[in-house]
Amino acid sequence: MHLRDLIVDTFRILWAHKLRTFLTMFGIGWGVVSITLMVAAGEGLRVGQKQQTDNLGKDLMIVFSGRTSMQAGGARAGRKVWWRASDPERVLKEATDCQYLLPELGRDGIPIRSNYNSAALMVTGSWPPFQEIRSIKVGEGRFYNDGDLHAARRVAVVGSDAAKQLFAGRQALGETIRVGDFPYTVVGVMEFKEQDSSYDGRDVNKIFVPVTAMMRDFPNKPPKPADSLDQMLATPKDVDSHEECKMQIRRALARIYGFDPSDKEAVPVWDTVENIKRFQTLTDGMKYFLGAVGVVTLFLGGIGVMNVMLVAVRERTREIGVRKAVGATRGSILMQFFVETVLIVFFSGGAGMAFAYGVCALVNRAKMPPFFAGLLPAPQYTLLSIALLGVVALGAAMYPASRAASIDPIEALRFEAGG
C-alpha cells in the first residue's frame, strides 16, 4: 500500500470511529494543556520576581554605615561609623571581586521649584555608573556624566513622576529648576519603571544629581561629618563572587576605620543577590511541585489514552483477521496502526499546544500583578509532554495490534469484542 493510500485509509477509519478518536485526542490534548499552563505559571512567577529585582538594581548590594558591636584595637563597641566621600575609590582598590562601588547621598523633602509648580522631593547624588546599576533608563536627554561629576555642575535628571508634577506635561528638558536655593539645569528625564521595593523611595519620584554638586550645595550637618555618605552601592563582577565582594569591602573598611572585619553590625549590607537566590530556591520548589502535578496529570491522561487505545485495537481484532485473510502482511497491519496513532498524537498534541498558547496570550493581555510576568510557556516542556503521551499511545496501540496480527486469521475472525 502506498503512503498516500495508507494516510487516506487511516483518515477514513478515524472518521468512522469518531467518538473513540475524540476521546483519545482529548486525553492527549488535555495532558498537553495542563503541563503547558502549569509550567507557564511557574516561569511567569520566576521572571516577574527577577524583573522586580532588576528594577531596584542589577546584582546590587547596599552598604550602610552602622555601629560597631565588637571591641577592636582598644576601641569600644557601639561606636558609630560613617562612610566618607573618599571611601569608594580607596575600598575598590582592595575589593577586586567588586565591579562597582559607588557613593550615594540622599536628601529627602528638599523643596523643588519649576516655573510651573513645586514639590518636596528626594534628591540623590552619586556617580554616572549609578544609572546602570540602579536600572535607570533615560527617556529624554542624558544622565549626568564624568565631566559633570568632576566639575560639580548643577545638572539634574528628573524622575518620570517628578517631571509630571513639576512641569504638568510640558517639556522639561533644558529647563531650570530650583533645588533648594540653587538653580539646576534638567539634562534628562527618566523613563517610567515599575518598582515595588526600595530602601529610600521610588526612583520615579526623585531628582538625580552628581554627588560632588550635592556635597557642595547640601553638606551634612553635625553630628555627621560634612563629607559623609548615606550608603555605598556595590556590584560583584559576577553573581558567584558576591560573597567575596562583600567580605573584601568589610575588610577594607575595617582597616580604614579600625574595627573587627567580622563585625557585620558595623557594615550592614542589603544583598539583593542573596535575596534573589533565596527566592530562586522558592520558585524552584514551586517548579518541582508543579512539575510533579504535571507528571501526575500526564500519567492520568496516559492511562486514559492507553485504555481507549487498548479497547480500540481489541474491537478491531476481527478487522485484522479479515486483512490477513485477504493477504495483508503483519508489517502492513502494524504500519496501519502506527500511522493512525501518529496522526492522532500529532493533531491532538498540536491542538492542545495551540489552545494552551492561546490561553497564555489571552491572559498576558491583561495587566499583571507585581512579581508575576504572565503565563510564559516553555516549548521544550510542551513538546516533551506530547512525546511522552505519544509513546504511551503508541505502546498501547502497537502491543495488542502486534499480538492480534500474530494469531491465525480464522481465530481472529471468530473473536468477539465482548467475549
Distance from CA of residue 117 to its chain's centroid?
39
**Residue 342: pLDDT band with limits 50, 70, 90:** confident
Residues in the chain: 419
Q: What is the DSSP string of 150-212?
A: HHT--EEEE-HHHHHHHHTTS--TT-EEEETTEEEEEEEEEPP------SS--GGGEEEEEHH
- Average pLDDT in the 348-352 region? 87
- 116 and 260 share a domain? yes
Give the rounded percent of residues in the chain with a pLDDT score beyond 70. Answer: 81
What is the domain extent for residue 132? 61-271
Kindly state whether residue 419 falls inside one of the protein's structural domains.
no
DSSP 377: -
Contact yes or no for 226/78 (Cβ under 8 A)? no
C-alpha neighbours within 13 Å on the C-beta side of residue 193 = 26
Residue 1 has pLDDT above 60, yes or no: no
- 169 and 313 share a domain? no
| Residue scoring higher pLDDT (411 or 174) | 174
Q: Mean pLDDT lowest for which of 10-14, 89-93, 174-178, 369-373?
A: 10-14
Residue 301 has pLDDT above 80, yes or no: no
Contact yes or no for 210/155 (Cβ under 8 A)? yes
- 194 and 117 share a domain? yes
pTM: 0.67
Beta bridge partners of 176: 185
Name the most confidently modeled range: 11-15, 28-32, 54-58: 28-32
What pLDDT does 58 receive? 74
Q: Mean pLDDT lowest for which of 4-13, 127-136, 181-190?
A: 4-13
Question: Which of 246, 271, 296 is the endpoint of a domain?
Answer: 271
**Residue 326: pLDDT band with limits 50, 70, 90:** confident
| Residue scoring higher pLDDT (131 or 380) | 131
What pLDDT does 302 receive? 66
What pLDDT does 99 receive? 93
- Average pLDDT in the 339-353 region? 83
Give the rounded percent of residues in the chain with a pLDDT score beyond 90. Answer: 38
DSSP 30: H
| Residue scoring higher pLDDT (221 or 291) | 221
What pLDDT does 419 receive? 47
The string of pLDDT tens digits covering residues 242-297 is 889 999 999 999 999 989 888 999 999 988 877 777 777 777 777 677 767 767 76
- 342 and 368 share a domain? yes
- 31 and 127 share a domain? no
Contact yes or no for 396/310 (Cβ under 8 A)? yes
Q: What angle do CA 164, 165, 166 make, to 5 degrees?
A: 95
- 185 and 208 share a domain? yes
- 130 and 213 share a domain? yes
217 CB-near residues (< 8 Å, 6+ apart) = 154, 179, 180, 182
Residue 17 has pLDDT above 90, yes or no: no
Contact yes or no for 72/215 (Cβ under 8 A)? no
- 41 and 76 share a domain? no
Kindly state whether residue 73 falls inside one of the protein's structural domains.
yes
Residue 192 has pLDDT above 80, yes or no: yes
Number of domains composing the chain: 2
- Average pLDDT in the 45-49 region? 77
Identity (one letter) of the amino acid at 99?
Answer: Q
User: Cell 493512525, residue?
Assistant: 340
- 148 and 230 share a domain? yes
DSSP 241: G
The string of pLDDT tens digits covering residues 23-42 is 777 877 888 888 888 888 88
Using DSSP's 3-state secondary structure scheme, residue 91 falls into: helix
The string of pLDDT tens digits covering residues 87-107 is 999 999 999 999 999 999 999
Give yes or no for a cis peptide into 128 (omega within 30° of 0): no
Residue 415 has pLDDT above 60, yes or no: no
Residue 70 has pLDDT above 50, yes or no: yes
- 135 and 174 share a domain? yes
Beta bridge partners of 104: 231
- 17 and 153 share a domain? no
Question: Which of 245, 271, 297 is the endpoint of a domain?
Answer: 271
Question: Which of 225, 243, 271 is the endpoint of a domain?
Answer: 271
Average pLDDT, the chain: 83
What pLDDT does 325 receive? 74
DSSP 267: S
Kindly state whether residue 195 falls inside one of the protein's structural domains.
yes
- 208 and 297 share a domain? no
Task: Quote the radius of gyration of the chain (alpha carbons, Å).
Answer: 34
